[in-house]
Amino acid sequence: MLDQLKETIKKALPELDFVMGWGMGFDALHATPLFMYEPEDVDKLVWGPLNIQNLATYLPSLKGKKVGIVVKGCDSRSVAELLQEKLVNRDEVVIFGMACQGTVNLTKVREIVGNTGLVEDVKYENGKLTVTADGQPHEMLLKDVRADKCGYCRFPNAVISDHFVGEERAPQVEEDTFEDLKEFESQSFEERRDFWMKEMDRCLRCYACRNACPLCVCRDHCVAQSRDPHWVSQQDGIRDKFMFQIIHATHMAGRCTNCGECERACPVDIPVLLLKRSFNRAVKNTFAYDAGLDAGATPPLLAFKVNEDNIKEKEW
């Protein structure tokens, strides 16, 4: 299947500036975005559960170039959302879709392996990952170390593509019932507040969450750092840092495609996707809408209806 993908990319490459996929990073456990300019670059392409980065993040900054992008199901939703918002031109992007088997959460692997800095080799076969570190092989099932988002994935197949390679896969679930959120919300207000205060305490204000997010497109002009006007304090108190996360989550309302890049990119493992999930559920309940499924649709918070279908204000 990977060979078929490589062939498809090689065929399309002459018409494109480059194609984005994944190559092997600094060790066997880490994939890294691969920019393929020449056919020989395509030979470095890898595919598997370690292809964790969502490459759609690069698209808005590549306007004016004609590029190819390899996508998993969730990545394809980000591309669709970017097309919806006209942040990417459809005729400037060629989408190579594959069916995703789920991606690995490296923090969970670390919990099993101990120190992932000592990884020597990784093998993936039949849903089983074998990570050898410090001479010691550790076997684990992908379903035990995959990203939480993959547990409630409805779209393993690219929702939009120009070239779909390989067989489609059945979705993990038919409906996302937000069980993770329900579990979190079963705690008292004080418990939840304390949880966030503790988690946000170690935030570095590095903005990896923001820059890894494909829909966080203000980026260079972000309210969090703007100097004139000076919107947000540069203090590093917990409240200041939490304030930024709330701004980020609010800006994502109705646009977030649940790719989880914000959380994955966080160097200190703060579970910030939980905040976006809350907004995703609110948008789903209010507008019966999921972001990034239809490149032709208008996100509900970018549209205006005098009478919203699900907001019965006249009946209040």
Partner 1 sequence: MAKYLKQDDLGSWLKELGKTYKVIAPVEEGDAVIFRPLTDERTLRIDRQATQGPKGVLFPACEELVSFKYGKDPEKPEKVTVDIQETVDAEPTLIFGSRPCDARGFDVFDNAFTKCSVKDSYYMARREQAVVVSLACTKTETTCFCNWVGGAPDGKGGSDVLLTPITGGYLVESVTDKGAALLDSPLLSEATGEHTAEAEKLLAAARESLREAPDFKCVPEQLYNLFDNMDFWEKQAAKCLSCGACTYLCPTCHCFNITDEQQGNQGSRIRSWDNCMSRLFTEEASGHNPRPTKAHRLKNRVGHKFCYFPDMHEGHIACVGCGRCIKSCPVALDIREVVTAAKECRLPEEETADD
Binding mask 215-254 for partner 1 (x = CB under 8 A): ----xxx---xxx--x--xxxx------------------
Figure out which of the listed residues 12, 30, 101, 180 binds partner 1, where binding follows CB under 8 A. Answer: 30
Cα–Cα distance for residue pair 183/194, rounded to 1 Å: 16
CB of 189 to partner 1, least distance (A): 21
Task: Using the minimum distance from each CB to partner 1, give the nearer residue, 133 or 283.
Answer: 133
DSSP strands (E only) in the chain: 18-24, 31-36, 67-71, 93-97, 119-125, 128-133, 136-141, 163-164
Task: Using the minimum distance from each CB to partner 1, give the nearer residue, 233 or 298.
Answer: 233
Asked if residue 53 binds partner 1 (CB under 8 A), the reply is yes
Residue numbers 151-210 binding partner 1 by CB under 8 A: 198-199, 201-202, 204-208, 210
Which residue type occupies 261? E
Q: Is 164 helix (H, G, I), strand (E, B) or coil?
A: strand
Of 1, 2, 160, residue with least CA distance to 69: 160
CB of 96 to partner 1, least distance (A): 17
| DSSP string for 240-262 | HHHHHHHHHHHHHTTT-----HH
Q: Which stretch binds partner 1 (CB under 8 A): 20-28, 166-174, 248-256, 281-289?
A: 20-28
* Paired sense of beta strands 93-97 and 163-164, if any: parallel
Task: Using the minimum distance from each CB to partner 1, give the nearer residue, 276 or 300.
Answer: 276
Asked if residue 2 binds partner 1 (CB under 8 A), the reply is no
Figure out which of the listed residues 38, 39, 44, 114 binds partner 1, where binding follows CB under 8 A. Answer: 114
Asked if residue 284 binds partner 1 (CB under 8 A), the reply is no
Backbone angles phi, psi at 141, to 5 degrees: -85, 140
Of 59, 18, 64, residue with least CA distance to 37: 18
* Beta-ladder partners of 121: 132
Asked if residue 33 binds partner 1 (CB under 8 A), the reply is yes
Contacts 24+ apart (CB under 8 A), 244-248: 244/205, 245/200, 245/203, 245/209, 245/272, 245/275, 246/275, 247/223, 248/209, 248/210, 248/213, 248/216, 248/272, 248/275
Q: Which stretch binds partner 1 (CB under 8 A): 24-32, 164-172, 186-194, 298-306?
A: 24-32
Q: Which stretch binds partner 1 (CB under 8 A): 68-76, 117-125, 138-146, 167-175?
A: 117-125
Asked if residue 118 binds partner 1 (CB under 8 A), the reply is yes
Task: Using the minimum distance from each CB to partner 1, give the nearer residue, 119 or 253.
Answer: 119
27's CB contacts (< 8 A; 6+ apart) are 119, 120
Residue numbers 263-282 binding partner 1 by CB under 8 A: 264-265, 267-270
CB of 27 to partner 1, least distance (A): 4
Q: What token pair was written down for 233?
A: 């304090």
Which residues would be at the binding site for partner 1 (CB under 8 A)?
25-27, 30-33, 35, 37, 53, 57-58, 107, 110-111, 114-115, 117-119, 134, 198-199, 201-202, 204-208, 210-212, 219-221, 225-227, 230, 233-236, 261, 264-265, 267-270
